[in-house]
Amino acid sequence: MRWKKFQYRITRSIIAVICLLFTSLVGCSPSTEYQEVIDYEPVLGDDWEISTPEAEGIDPELMAEMYYKASKMDTIYSLLVVKNGKITGEKYFNAGSIDQLSKRASVTKSYVSALVGIALDRGYLTSPDQKMLDFFPDIVDQVTDPRKKQITIRNMLEMKAGYPWEEEDAAAWAALWSGEYLSHIAGIPLFTDPGTRFKYSNLTSHWLGIIVARASGMDLMSFGTQYLFSPLGVEPGEDWNRDLDGYYIGCGDILFTARDMAKFGLLYLNEGRYEGNQLIPESWVKDSLETYSEKAWSNIGHFHEIGYGYQWWSAKAGDYRVNFAWGHGGQLIVLVDELDLVIVTTADSFYGEDAHFNSWKYEKAIIEMAADFVHSISDDT
């Protein structure tokens, strides 16, 4: 490890010298850009304690490199680094700002997972093995596939309900953008038997949100506000979309600031506790961050062995295991438990059916940036 660390630092030093000598030839950043890059000092406020990378044991060069990469991205809005519970890096780009509330896409799924755990803890749900159709008596008579009667809340959390990924199924894709979702519980054919295989499904996550709403007798916004958002000191934007039946979208569209997202990440690092209060059961946090599906996604940069838990992703980056909430366009809440580290990015969500497929190169670059940073810390320790 020491030899690896020595090689890494020598390589970085050589690159830095080359940049200084040949800036105009190789396109390295001039001094004015470098000065901008290192200006990632957190904004003073009452809601967070702030610190510096050095004080929290992070190499400031690694931070500067990551913030420099972010500064060159056209669609990123924010980049926050929280170490040991303190914001050690914070910068806003493009249309981003400290108060920006925009759609966080599938990061919403991780919030819904938390609300399922709270609903279980509060007695609104009795078990993750309750059947999905128990909560849809208005739909059950329309279901002709007997396998759907075996789908459990646990299957849904693990993305093993058996429904197809919308981007691979024309009927499911059309259903996703229809705004009417209840009838599709019965109408969309299963891709595989429930509980057997991972298959990412936005509709499944939305139906999870409806289950919480129906079980509690409250809409998802009210339930979340009472039991999670207000106790955490955050307030989602009012433009969280609803479907045509009036249910808040459980698979996407929730609106939070980057700092709000960092609080949610820190809540999971702290095993569900915030300011001495247990907002989410510790056991639920642990279960949510387990990996129930190996190789759920292909490698993205230094994120390897990407798996899936309860609406949370997992991966390996260097020496560390990470968990992350992941939303379209590059919304991320990355947790590195061993380092007491949270990384948050927000970005253009490329919202809408027409814009959806134009995002991957931008989204991928943001994910790779975060993965590179964690990997670099691994090399540097």
**Boundaries of every domain in the chain:** 2-100+280-359
Rounded to whole angstroms, the Cα distance separating 62 from 54 reads: 11
3-class secondary structure per residue, the chain: CHHHHHHHHHHHHHHHHHHHHCHHHHCCCCHHHHHHHCCCCCCCCCCCCECCCCCCCCCHHHHHHHHHHHHCCCCEEEEEEEECCEEEEEEECCCCCCCCCEECCCHHHHHHHHHHHHHHHCCCCCCCCCEHHHHCCCCHHHCCCHHHHHCEHHHHHCCCCCCCCHHHCHHHHHHHCCCCCCCHHHHCCCCCCCCCCCCCCHHHHHHHHHHHHHHHCCCHHHHHHHHHHHHHCCCCCCCCCECCCCCECCCCCCEECHHHHHHHHHHHHCCCEECCEECCCHHHHHHHCCCCECCCCCCECCEEEEEECCCCEEEEECCEEEEEEEECCCEEEEEEHHHCEEEEEEECCCCCCCCHHHCHHHHHHHHHHHHHHHHHHHHHC
Q: Give first-to-last CA distance, the chain, whole Å.
A: 8
CA-to-CA distance for 273 and 85, rounded, in angstroms?
12
- The total number of residues written for the chain in this structure: 381
Structure tokens at 128: 């993750």
- Token reading at 251: 């698979």
- What's the pLDDT score for residue 46? 81
Return averaged pLDDT per consecutive 10 residues of the chain, 381 residues in all. 43 44 43 58 89 96 95 97 98 96 96 98 98 97 98 98 96 96 97 98 98 98 98 96 98 97 98 97 98 97 98 97 97 98 97 80 97 89 60
What's the pLDDT score for residue 12?
Answer: 45
Instruction: Identify the CA nearest to 335 among candidates 353, 314, 354.
Output: 314
Alpha carbon distances (Å) from 61 to 19, 89, 109 = 15, 12, 34
Question: How, if at all, do strands 313-317 and 304-308 pair?
Answer: antiparallel
pTM exceeds cut of 0.85: yes
Q: How many Å apart are CA 303 and CA 371, to the nearest integer?
A: 6
CA–CA separation, 366 and 254 (whole Å): 20
Structural contact between residues 115 and 108, judged by C-beta atoms closer than 8 angstroms: no
> Is residue 176 a contact partner of residue 187, using CB atoms and an 8 Å limit?
no
C-beta of residue 300 within 8 angstroms of C-beta of residue 363: no
Residues 138, 184: Cα–Cα separation, whole Å: 12
Determine the Cα–Cα distance for residues 116 and 263; give it in Å rounded to an integer. 19
Residue 346: what are its φ and ψ, rounded to 5°?
A: -125, 155
Of 257, 255, 241, nearest in space to 77 by CA: 257
Lookup: tokens for 10 = 């020598």
C-alpha pair distances (Å), 80 with each of 208, 334, 356, 370: 29, 10, 25, 11
Instruction: Give the pLDDT confidence score for residue 354 in this predicted structure.
Output: 73
pLDDT at 13: 44
